[in-house]
Structure 1
Amino acid sequence: MSGILPLDATAADDVMIEVDAVRKRFGATQALAGVSCTFGRHEFVALLGPNGAGKSTLIKVLDGVHTADAGAIRVRGGRGGLGVVHQDLGLVEELTVAENMFLGQPRALVNPRRDARRAAAALEAVGLTTIDPHALVGSLGLGQRAMVAVARTFDRGAETVVIDEVTAGLHPHEARWVVERLRVAAELGATVLMVTHKLDEALGVATRYVVLSDGRVALDAPAAEVTKARLVDVMSRDRRAVAAPERSAQDVERDDVVCSLEGVHAGPAGPVSMAVPAGRVTALTGPLGSGLHEVAYVAAGLLEATAGRVLAARGLRRACVPAHRESEGVFPEASVEFNVAAGGWRRWRGPLGLLDVRAMRRDCDAAVAALSVVPHRLDVGVSDLSGGNQQKTLFARALMRDPQLLVLCEPTRGVDVATRREIYAQVREVAERGAAVLVASTDYEDIAALADTVGVLDARGRLTGWLPPDRFSELTVELA
């Protein structure tokens, strides 16, 4: 196959993309096994599927990052008719909206006034009438930045836009705002293909659902014919059944504090005073920008508090799964084996300081098997894994250290329904073995499924109080 092809002249007027029997293999892994589907004008399609289903590979083939081994992709307008907006957005915060809009475009002469007028028109086309083209991108909210990236894609001639996990790091309110504007863009004639793991974002908005599983189309149906229960069933099919975690009386009894914060200030948060006891899951939540992740990093020993103090036993074994796996977690150029073993080399060194490679490989293999990382291969590059399997790789690294304090920031960001359940079960198991767990999350599902108690930070980073499980429902307002 030779990249993106233009649509045949015989294609129906409302057809925008044809994906025809596309196949892609990475070594022994068949990432795409004959995917075929068609996307039309005015459609808002939610592309769903479990981690490792082939979504990321399909998007990379559409974006020209990978070339398919077989099959064909035809796009109305050819390569220029399709644009992909990735989670990192590709914007420069220190430049203005207008400068970002035309960044990288070859031009003989720069005309700031003309650029501002054109940028304003592009923004208005996606409903952003209140954004000043002269404003720095860094001054905008995260949702606004996402839509600036979408506006730029349409301005460059794309009639079809692929939204690749763009809402994963947004506050629920901002995510709904972005999705609503994408819906309007589809109604006005664009084709929107949105990749998301959050079903509730797509329900009631998408006009069609396409679910991939094991590199094949497992479901392709209009929204009117699909229920949430059916989507969950298709996405979870053939996955290991994991029961919902339950809290036991044992969790409450083992209350030895392994780490405590006293008047801690970190980033915008503070003062925060809290205790993290063994055998329990303590959670922090609040809006993005409140500093909850910075507080968690202080507890994990990864960040120094600007004020206050941290009390922890000498030699306390700590492990952390960071909030942003792409920039803070994985080593993208390294293998799965390296990513799992990183930071734990000492455990495999003998008396002479030599590394016992066989023991290391055995332990890493057991760790990825326990978390069902797909594909189950240590030699594959971690960047070739789906986002959810990269997340499980970080969990494997953290659990390899047998931590006495496990700190988790946004533990289920970008993972599918079944993987979310697997992670919840693993976290509860760690707590039941006696470790202390601190979860910092903006996701209500994480809090409701895991926490024994939750501290709530307000927008200015102040700790407003603690809630027991029977009051967690109040968070649906706080996190809305």
Structure 2
Amino acid sequence: MTALLELEQVSKSFSTVSVLKQIDFRVDAGRIVALAGENGAGKSTMMKLITGIYPRDEGVMRLGDREVNFSSARQAMDAGIAMIHQELNLLPELSVGENIFLGREPTDAFGRILWSEIESQSRRWLEELKLSIDPKEKLANLSIAQQQMVEIARALSMNADIIIMDEPTDALTDIETTILFEIMDRLRQSGKGLVFISHRLGEIFQICDDIAILRDGQMVHQGPVAEISEDDLIRHMVGRELTDQYPYEALQRGDVRLSVSNLVAHNVKGVSFEAHAGEVLGFAGLVGAGRTELAKAIYGANSVKSGSIEINGKSCRLKSPQDGVKAGIGYVTEDRKHEGLIQMHALSANMSLTGLSRFLNRLGILDKASEREQIEKYIKAFSVKTHGMDAQISQLSGGNQQKVSIAKSLMPRPDILILDEPTRGVDVGARREIYTLINTLKSQGLCILLMSSDMPELLGMSDRILVMSEGKLTGEFSRDEADQESIMRCTVAEHV
């Protein structure tokens, strides 16, 4: 077989964190290679190295028999590498045709854009995907699935030798997926090399020739799909041992704090569950499973289409995060930089933001002495490392910023705390401190919802685990029942 792409001993680190460790990887002409691995295994970083977005620290990358060193995504594109992104990389205000040829517009001898050429060529690629879409249509008017197909048409129009597809079927219907697989098969037969990333294991066995599996930044398996079973694939993906870094404490759970019944919201499809005081209820699922959308719907940040939410036995209709705070819910977002904290403000202003009503006197005037007293209390209790409460939040490390984000959510004294990826981007020491804090809050009777893509974290800290896939609950496990393979099977389930 002829190698179109080869990585040899490629490594990549960010600061002191090693993300990819001496990776070997190969894509042959006329083959579709599945790239599998849990969230955080290193798949995205590896693809960004291949497509010129990140430089590699060590190792060699070859296209055919020549070594390449890309310094931009454009260089990779010009060398024959196209990528279909999971997050749409399109401009909604432009037309379909303009998006397909964005940055590659055909021009005449005077540099004028040939709009008729854009229209005719776009129509050709859309028809290839069996789409009856007008190339002049504004992209924003299309459905997400149609926009995804436009992204695919854009990649096909580049006539690349290597095409990387990152979760291309996530927004597609079964019919659209079938059409895409037919296109992939034709590309394979024409000698192209494809990299296919999908959390739907059935798709891997259906369309792929080879498989490469990443775990914790290392390539743990690469070979023909025909030589691996689904059980072996799952075992390679999750083959890690839990350690004592998870200081779990077993407590007697209390009354029901939160009851969710048949909740329907954006990417949430009829979810029902109960959570108790003194309990850590974990939520597992891959990217796009609906965990964050569920958290935001409960908190009031996402609108609820139907279903009900009860807090301490009382029905609540939450239309905003302010309603969530008043109802006794604290929420720590997965994106502390853009959603959780105001980077240009001081630690003190961030920490007390959601709890300011606690510090108003009878005249509605802020009692600054009381506010600063509580801030000092949390700084000490959470061991926040800072040179003062007036330090700008952006000057703190990721772990200390996360502690401030958690303290901010606790300032209004909630009964329910939602933690969405609470240890993302923090070091091992800060992780341990956050886990200890979770135990403390649990012992105080808080009901904690833990959304995490870190499987050992969920298994190590949860009393129960609910599993989500495609907006639905697909499994429930007690602490004693839960194991990585069982949970992984539910995370890739396509039907309840």
TM bucket (normalised to shorter chain) is: 0.5 to 0.7
1:87-126 equivalences in 2 (<5 Å): 87-105=86-104, 107=107, 108-125=111-128
DSSP-derived class of the 1:38 partner: strand
1:12-411 equivalences in 2 (<5 Å): 14-76=2-64, 79=76, 80=78, 81-105=80-104, 107=107, 108-125=111-128, 127-167=129-169, 169-170=170-171, 173=174, 176-177=177-178, 180-181=181-182, 183-184=184-185, 185-240=187-242, 256=256, 258=258, 278=276, 297-303=296-302, 312=311, 316-320=327-331, 329-331=335-337, 345-346=351-352, 351=373, 353-354=375-376, 356=379, 359-360=383-384, 376-377=427-428, 404=446
Amino acid at match of 2:379: D
Counterpart Cα distance in 1 of 2:294 and 2:218: 42
Counterpart Cα distance in 2 of 1:191 and 1:54: 21
Cα 1:440/1:69, change in 2 over 3 Å: closer
Task: Kindly indicate whether the alpha-carbon contact (under 8 Å) linking 1:85 and 1:149 is maintained by their aligned counterparts in 2.
Answer: yes
Cα 1:377/1:179, change in 2 over 3 Å: farther
Deviation at 1:183, TM superposition (A): 3.2
What is the percentage of aligned positions where both structures have the same residue?
Answer: 19
1:303-325 Cα offsets, whole Å, 9 max, x none, are 56799997656854424577xx6
1:108-167 Cα offsets, whole Å, 9 max, x none, are 323333211101222344x33433323333343433322321221231242211123444
Cα 1:122/1:241, change in 2 over 3 Å: farther
Matched residue, 2:73: none
Matched residue, 1:3: none
Counterpart Cα distance in 2 of 1:50 and 1:193: 16
1:72-91 Cα offsets, whole Å, 9 max, x none, are 21225973211122221211
Deviation at 1:220, TM superposition (A): 1.0
Deviation at 1:201, TM superposition (A): 2.9
Task: Kindly indicate whether the alpha-carbon contact (under 8 Å) linking 1:137 and 1:145 is maintained by their aligned counterparts in 2.
Answer: yes
Amino acid at match of 1:356: I
Cα 1:441/1:56, change in 2 over 3 Å: closer
Task: Kindly indicate whether the alpha-carbon contact (under 8 Å) linking 1:318 and 1:404 is maintained by their aligned counterparts in 2.
Answer: no
Cα 1:306/1:228, change in 2 over 3 Å: closer
Task: Kindly indicate whether the alpha-carbon contact (under 8 Å) linking 1:319 and 1:405 is maintained by their aligned counterparts in 2.
Answer: no
Task: Kindly indicate whether the alpha-carbon contact (under 8 Å) linking 2:82 and 2:160 is maintained by their aligned counterparts in 1.
Answer: yes
Gap regions ≥5 residues in structure 2: 69-75, 245-251, 313-324, 356-370, 386-398, 407-418, 479-489
Counterpart Cα distance in 1 of 2:46 and 2:327: 43
Deviates more, 1:77-86 or 1:115-124: 77-86
Task: Kindly indicate whether the alpha-carbon contact (under 8 Å) linking 2:267 and 2:470 is maintained by their aligned counterparts in 1.
Answer: no
Counterpart Cα distance in 1 of 2:336 and 2:32: 32
Amino acid at match of 2:101: F
Deviation at 1:46, TM superposition (A): 0.8
Task: Kindly indicate whether the alpha-carbon contact (under 8 Å) linking 2:282 and 2:462 is maintained by their aligned counterparts in 1.
Answer: no
Matched residue, 1:442: 470
Q: RMSD of aligned C-alpha atoms?
A: 5.4
DSSP-derived class of the 1:113 partner: helix
Deviation at 1:97, TM superposition (A): 1.5
Cα 1:239/1:376, change in 2 over 3 Å: farther
Deviation at 1:260, TM superposition (A): 7.3
Counterpart Cα distance in 2 of 1:84 and 1:450: 37
Deviates more, 1:222-231 or 1:206-215: 206-215
Aligned residues: 391
Counterpart Cα distance in 2 of 1:91 and 1:154: 15
Counterpart Cα distance in 2 of 1:266 and 1:214: 33
Task: Kindly indicate whether the alpha-carbon contact (under 8 Å) linking 1:292 and 1:440 is maintained by their aligned counterparts in 2.
Answer: yes
Cα 1:173/1:139, change in 2 over 3 Å: farther
Deviates more, 1:69-78 or 1:398-407: 398-407
Counterpart Cα distance in 1 of 2:439 and 2:38: 23
Counterpart Cα distance in 2 of 1:171 and 1:302: 26
1:145-197 Cα offsets, whole Å, 9 max, x none, are 22321221231242211123444x53674784476246323334321112233
Deviates more, 1:222-231 or 1:35-44: 35-44
Task: Kindly indicate whether the alpha-carbon contact (under 8 Å) linking 1:321 and 1:398 is maintained by their aligned counterparts in 2.
Answer: no
Task: Kindly indicate whether the alpha-carbon contact (under 8 Å) linking 2:4 and 2:63 is maintained by their aligned counterparts in 1.
Answer: yes
Amino acid at match of 2:171: L
Counterpart Cα distance in 1 of 2:61 and 2:18: 18
Counterpart Cα distance in 2 of 1:120 and 1:162: 23
The structure with the larger Rg is: 2
DSSP-derived class of the 2:207 partner: coil
Counterpart Cα distance in 1 of 2:167 and 2:271: 34
Counterpart Cα distance in 2 of 1:162 and 1:303: 32
Counterpart Cα distance in 2 of 1:334 and 1:277: 24
Cα 1:173/1:406, change in 2 over 3 Å: farther
Highest relative contact order (Cα 8 Å, sep 6+), 1 or 2? 1
Task: Kindly indicate whether the alpha-carbon contact (under 8 Å) linking 2:5 and 2:26 is maintained by their aligned counterparts in 1.
Answer: yes
Counterpart Cα distance in 2 of 1:89 and 1:155: 17
Cα 1:116/1:54, change in 2 over 3 Å: same
DSSP-derived class of the 1:193 partner: strand
Amino acid at match of 2:147: R
